[in-house]
Amino acid sequence: AQKVTQAQTEISVVEKEDVTLDCVYETRDTTYYLFWYKQPPSGELVFLIRRNSFDEQNEISGRYSWNFQKSTSSFNFTITASQVVDSAVYFCALSERYYGGATNKLIFGTGTLLAVQP
Amino acid sequence: NAGVTQTPKFRILKIGQSMTLQCTQDMNHNYMYWYRQDPGMGLKLIYYSVGAGITDKGEVPNGYNVSRSTTEDFPLRLELAAPSQTSVYFCASREGGVVNTEAFFGQGTRLTVV
């Protein structure tokens, strides 16, 4: 069954520390897609990155980087030199194609609340 | 560009009342979703649709109904509101046929049932 686990409920760091948010997923399909979203205190959902199951290259965007490992079914997110503005809830999400069909469910993990202290 | 628009932004319902949460998108996306987010919790999928006339249940469909008569609109109906339905509701859409596109979200509807 399709499932996303974010075991870290809350993380608190001091500004400039590096922090890694974990995401572990379960899927029965070989073609699937992973996403990270940010939800700042204002409540909106902001898209950060997407990754398909055929592309295991890591990605870096400024202070953000993502590590995708199919062998461990993980898609972890690292913020380098964290800042107070990074304080938010971060969600990992999974979309599978379900045996070539088009169900296209988009399932979210429970989120990790990141608090960056000045 | 409006993107995904949800109305209303806030609503207080009494137990047993009914209401419809409106969601419309102007991006010609085939796929649309309804989620609920309880305080301090993640997003749970209520219903989704892969095109006009096609809907399917998500993780928590009980107490809700949806319809999809047009590509643009995907209203969520609450019948006989209960306190357990107090939540923030998000509507989202994404492009169909290309699975790896991201979902675009509305601003949310904060619903309180008293």
What integer is the mean pLDDT of B102-111?
94
Bridge partners (DSSP) of residue B88 are B37, B110
Averages of pLDDT over each 10 residues, chain A, 118 residues: 91 97 92 92 92 86 93 95 97 76 77 96
CB nearest to A43's CB, from B59, B92, B108: B108
Contact list in A for residue B27 (CB cut-off 8 A) is none
Q: Give Dmax (Cα) for chain B.
A: 42
Range A65-73, long-range pairs (CB < 8 A, 24+ positions): A66/A36, A68/A34, A72/A24, A73/A24, A73/A25, A73/A26, A73/A27
pLDDT at position B91:
97
Handedness of CA B17, B22, B52, A47 (dihedral sign): negative
Is the minimum CB–CB distance between A31 and chain B shorter than 8 Å?
yes
Q: Is the pLDDT of residue B110 over 90?
A: yes
The chain A residue lying nearest B97, using CA atoms, is: A102
Nearest CA to A74 out of A111, A38, A21 is that of: A21
- Other beta carbons within 10 angstroms of residue B99's beta carbon come to 20
pLDDT band at residue B40 under the 50/70/90 scheme: confident
What integer is the mean pLDDT of B79-97?
92
Q: How far is A93 from chain B (nearest CA, A)?
A: 10
Token output for A21: 């948010």
pLDDT at position A2:
82
Q: Pinpoint the alpha helices (H) of A11-108.
A: none
Nearest CA to A88 out of A98, A73, A97, A77 is that of: A77
pLDDT at position B1:
66
Q: How far is B82 from chain A (nearest CA, A)?
A: 23
Rounded CA separation B79/B16 (Å)? 7
Q: Which of B5, B100, B111 to mutate to test the interface with A (most CBs of A within 10 A)?
A: B100
Which residue type is seen at A52? N
pLDDT at position A103:
59
CB nearest to A91's CB, from B42, B58, B96: B42
pLDDT at position A1:
72
Contact across the interface for B108 and A102, Cβ inside 8 Å = no
Q: Is the pLDDT of residue B100 over 80?
A: no
Angle at B32 between CA A41 and CA A4, to 5 degrees: 60
Angle at B81 between CA B76 and CA B84, to 5 degrees: 100
Cis amide bond preceding A41, omega within 30: no
Contact list in B for residue A103 (CB cut-off 8 A) is 50, 56
Contact across the interface for B102 and A45, Cβ inside 8 Å = no
